[in-house]
A and B are shown apart, each in its own frame.
Chain A
Amino acid sequence: MNEAEKFRHDRSTYERPNVPFRCGRAVAWGQPCWQGPDARGDCGGQFECSPTHNQDRWECRRPTRAGGPCKQGPLPDGQCCNSRPLCQPRPSLRRLRGRVTLMLLAIAAALIFAFSNPVSTIFPSVAAIDPGPLSNAHAGFIGTDKCESCHVGHTQTGIAWLAQVFEEHDNDAKCLQCHTFDGPSRSAHNRKFPNRQTLPQPECATCHKEHKGAEFDLAAVSSQVCGNCHTQQFNDFSSGHPQFAAQFPYQVPNAIYFDHNAHLQQHFASAGEKAVDAPAVAEFAQRAKRDCTACHEIATATREVTPRPFEQTCGHCHQQQITARSLPLLLADSLTPASALLLGTSDDADDADEQVVALIAAMAEGGLEAFAQPFEQWQLQRGEKMLEGLTSEVLQAAAKAWENEDDYTPPATDIHVSGWHAGTDADENQSIRYEPRGHRDPVLKAWFDVVADLAASHKDAALRDVAKQTLEQLLDSSEGPGACGKCHVAGITSVDSQGLSVPYWGFRGPVERRHTSYAHAPHLNLLGGPEACGTCHIVNPASNYADYFEDPERQPSQFMSNFEPIVKNTCDSCHKPSKVRFDCQLCHTYHRNPSFNVGFQIKRLARNE
């Protein structure tokens, strides 16, 4: 108590907080004995003192703090005269704490030991090596291998398993058993960066964190991670992203000559008046004038918006132009660009007449054999396709008639299934000609492909010039066969950096951007449907779109789209904080063409079994 004298050494016991046991009487709130329990927890207070033997006398040793020596003194046998029943000492709080600690440690160790065996299949869901549920993407493919599917370290047991603490593991190798990419799989962006030797080589788990639950998005990566490797660093799209390239996304010239300005402002407007007796054409023209989806497919569009097929779009007005223009192979009295090409000469050459006579004679004698020698001269591999459907009988009959200076009249039974015709044409000339049956005519396409190839890369310069001249005549927008050159002039004459012909007949597609993605459909849904295309694609009435197509050189730098370039502000009016997502992954993909390989197929088969 507050009275200091009360706790003098001769008046009270010296209580220590770290004694392991408490007197059993104190626990029951009785008067504790002065001795207290011993270190083993046994009662030390059965007798009030331990008498000592002094010169044949037993002396009481009860200390002053317990009342001093008693009056009775020890018994004759030296035992204390004041005995009490033994108490049951109890552990102190400190000892109790130690016991609980040891017990909890033992439970933890036992649970770890019981559930950590890597090959144990007992209670797998509570195993001490279970770090959480897999994502849905992987949960179905681990099969009976389970952890071993992805973790190299799981293959061992016992001490060998534990010893792997000191080993490096190539867990990426397990990922790459199923996943594959274009380019080096372990390099950033699956590409080599020769000028960035210090770039870190990320592991798969750096970005794809597993065991985060079934619904966890494995591919989600924060924008900061992207920004830290890139030389131009910025936080996100809204702050610091560089401006889009000049003329984005129209840097690459179109393969098809389609002037949006001319069509929207003139042709679609006048189509209704011209096609009074063709209501479908007028209806299409009206729709195309206000709705881009009349020609462009957006329902399945991602970054690329593919134009609809010719028959559903251009064909409404241009189908007739194709079938109206035939490819004259040979006239009865003169060479055509096609026959001149085959003979390796010019249709206005001095000896053209002699060559025509010789060719007709050869046709009369051998039919299609007459073209064998020219094809051999050109080393043509696709000659059969150029004359597909043309028969020797027709050639011989026409040639023989012409040798006799008669007009050839085809028999009435000739139904012209093949497209090849002999006889009098629309200009009242005797000719052998090919009349295209429609868009994508295979024979005409073969002629253009072959001639463009010869013009671009034939080893004989003289013959190459002949081919160029022929190609120009075939591509003539007002007279060329099938009117192909009217729209396909740029696509057909495309050459690669090696100077080899790489004709693009159809939509060339957008510029290849391996790490960029874009989805048109959700944007249109949000902005108000097909008529909202103009939000981003703004027509530029002042554009010199035709210049590129009309210039024979067709320099890509000369190309100017019908549309204003899309600038960053177009996007960041919505993609910014507090509005719409603006993280890197929204538009950019890290990997190049991710797909699955054999390992995945094996796992899939095993799963299905």
Chain B
Amino acid sequence: MRGHTTALGNLLRDRTQWVIYLIGASIVAIAYAAIAIPAWHRAATLGDPREITGYSMLGIMLFLAAFNLRKRIPMLPLIRTRWWTFAHICGGILALAVFWLHIERIWPNGTYEQCLAALFYLTSLSGLFGLLVQRLQPSRLTQTGLEVIFERIPNEIARLRNEAETLAVECTRKTRHATLARYFVESLQWYFGAPRFVASYIRGSQTAKFWLEQRFATVRRYLNDDEQQYLLQLEALAEEKSAIDAHYAGQLLLRSWLLVHVPCVAAVLALALWHAILVHIYAV
């Protein structure tokens, strides 16, 4: 019964997802038509369509940038962030389409326009990358079975390291054998020292798991029964550390793409405003 409920839930969720995609695509298409048709009409009546597409572009970019402001003032009841994100994604796709409509080609001619276009493309690509990351990483993080706030990760790593070191010392004291402690110092101390295998977690590979299995299998044969108990506890801590490392890698990726996206947005807006000024001085 529970299996059937899950399947139905997945089906409904998938269907809802597709409906949202369809609504998004329709909004983008309608908005694009609302810009392209007057622009086409302006061109057909011997006017300059770039006035329409240019100012539309500027408006779209300001709207997209407003998302950042919205996040800075979460206390105001300005529609749920979820819908802002949805509108931001639709607006981003629309901006790319209107940009091509505006410049009438993929790559402009002038040096200044090329800088503007390069920054715009970088912004768009970083945005698409961010969208991709936001779609993929959360499910991966859920699969770790752990929840941790990014800012608390250093605390957690320090705690795990302390617990592991305490276990190693206690094992030596109680069993009178230093095998596990020596092995910890030689091999596992590095692992507990900081987040490891970050690139591997971003790629989604299992390098850390294999590394740990190999290390523990190597040392297990040299330990007596009492030490084996401590080793099992160490393994549990290492697994927890592995999950935290996965969180660190995923959450770092979820945050760091904005390091490219947000500065580019600001620069694009500045250059676009100056571009509009130049157009009014020279072309109008």
A interface residues (Cβ-Cβ under 8 A, vs B): 1-2, 12-13, 15-17, 19, 22-23, 25-27, 29-32, 93, 96-97, 100-101, 103-105, 107-109, 112, 116, 125-133, 147, 151, 153-154, 161-162, 164-166, 168-169, 171, 188, 200, 202-203, 205-207, 211-213, 224-225, 228-229
A1 lies within 8 A of B156 (CB): yes
- Quick check: is B110 within 8 A (CB to CB) of the other chain? yes
CB-defined A-B contacts under 8 Å, sample of 5:
A29-B154, A93-B256, A132-B113, A203-B46, A206-B48
Chain A residues with CB under 8 Å of B195's CB are 29
A29 lies within 8 A of B194 (CB): yes
Q: Which 5 A-B pairs have the closest CB atoms?
A: A132-B109, A26-B154, A131-B110, A132-B110, A15-B151
B155 lies within 8 A of A168 (CB): no
A206 lies within 8 A of B270 (CB): no
- Quick check: is B271 within 8 A (CB to CB) of the other chain? yes
Q: Which of A12, A104, A169, A207 contacts B264 (CB 8 A)?
A: A104
Per-residue interface assignment for chain B, residues 248 to 284, with 1 indicating a CB less than 8 Å from any chain A CB and 0 otherwise: 0000000110110011101100110010011011111
B270 lies within 8 A of A168 (CB): no
Nearest to A163 among chain B residues (CB) is: B281
- Quick check: is B217 within 8 A (CB to CB) of the other chain? no
Q: How far is the CA of A149 from the CA of B141 in the complex (A)?
A: 62
Q: How far is the CA of A2 from the CA of B240 in the complex (A)?
A: 12
B109 lies within 8 A of A213 (CB): yes
Per-residue interface assignment for chain B, residues 87 to 109, with 1 indicating a CB less than 8 Å from any chain A CB and 0 otherwise: 00000000000000000000011
A224 lies within 8 A of B155 (CB): no
Interface size counted on chain B using CB atoms at 8 A: 48
Q: Which of B46, B148, B258 contacts A229 (CB 8 A)?
A: B46
The answer to whether A31 and B281 touch (CB under 8 A), given A109-B270, A212-B109, A225-B46, is no
Q: Which of A15, A108, A188 contacts B149 (CB 8 A)?
A: A15
- Quick check: is B63 within 8 A (CB to CB) of the other chain? no
B267 lies within 8 A of A108 (CB): yes
Q: How far is the CA of A30 from the CA of B160 in the complex (A)?
A: 11
The answer to whether A206 and B112 touch (CB under 8 A), given A128-B274, A151-B282, A164-B281, is no
B281 lies within 8 A of A162 (CB): yes
Q: Which of B46, B264, B282 contacts A206 (CB 8 A)?
A: B46
- Quick check: is B152 within 8 A (CB to CB) of the other chain? yes
B151 lies within 8 A of A16 (CB): yes
The answer to whether A161 and B281 touch (CB under 8 A), given A97-B258, A132-B113, is yes
A1 lies within 8 A of B147 (CB): yes
Q: How far is the CA of A132 from the CA of B112 in the complex (A)?
A: 8
Nearest to A23 among chain B residues (CB) is: B154
Chain A residues with CB under 8 Å of B280's CB are 164-166
Chain A residues with CB under 8 Å of B282's CB are 129, 131, 147, 151, 153-154, 169
Find residues 144-166 in chain B having any chain A CB closer than 8 Å to their own CB: 146-152, 154-159, 162
Q: Which of B47, B148, B151, B162 contacts A1 (CB 8 A)?
A: B148
Q: Which of B154, B158, B284 contacts A168 (CB 8 A)?
A: B284
The answer to whether A101 and B44 touch (CB under 8 A), given A17-B151, A31-B158, is no
Nearest to B40 among chain A residues (CB) is: A224
Nearest to A92 among chain B residues (CB) is: B151
Nearest to B261 among chain A residues (CB) is: A97
B44 lies within 8 A of A225 (CB): yes
Chain A residues with CB under 8 Å of B218's CB are none
Nearest to B283 among chain A residues (CB) is: A205
- Quick check: is B5 within 8 A (CB to CB) of the other chain? no
Nearest to A147 among chain B residues (CB) is: B282
Q: Which of B44, B156, B255 contacts A93 (CB 8 A)?
A: B255
Known: A105-B267, A127-B111. 11 other contacts (CB 8 A): A2-B146, A22-B151, A31-B159, A93-B256, A104-B266, A108-B271, A147-B282, A162-B277, A211-B109, A224-B43, A228-B44
Most buried by A among B47, B155, B194, B255: B155
Chain B residues with CB under 8 Å of A188's CB are 46
Q: How far is the CA of A252 from the CA of B233 in the complex (A)?
A: 108
The answer to whether A165 and B277 touch (CB under 8 A), given A17-B150, A30-B158, A105-B266, is yes
The answer to whether A26 and B155 touch (CB under 8 A), given A1-B147, A131-B112, A228-B45, is yes
Chain B residues with CB under 8 Å of A103's CB are 263
Find residues 122-159 in chain B having any chain A CB closer than 8 Å to their own CB: 146-152, 154-159
Chain B residues with CB under 8 Å of A107's CB are 267
- Quick check: is B193 within 8 A (CB to CB) of the other chain? yes
Min CB gap B260→A, angstroms? 8
Per-residue interface assignment for chain B, residues 40 to 65, with 1 indicating a CB less than 8 Å from any chain A CB and 0 otherwise: 00011111100000000000000000
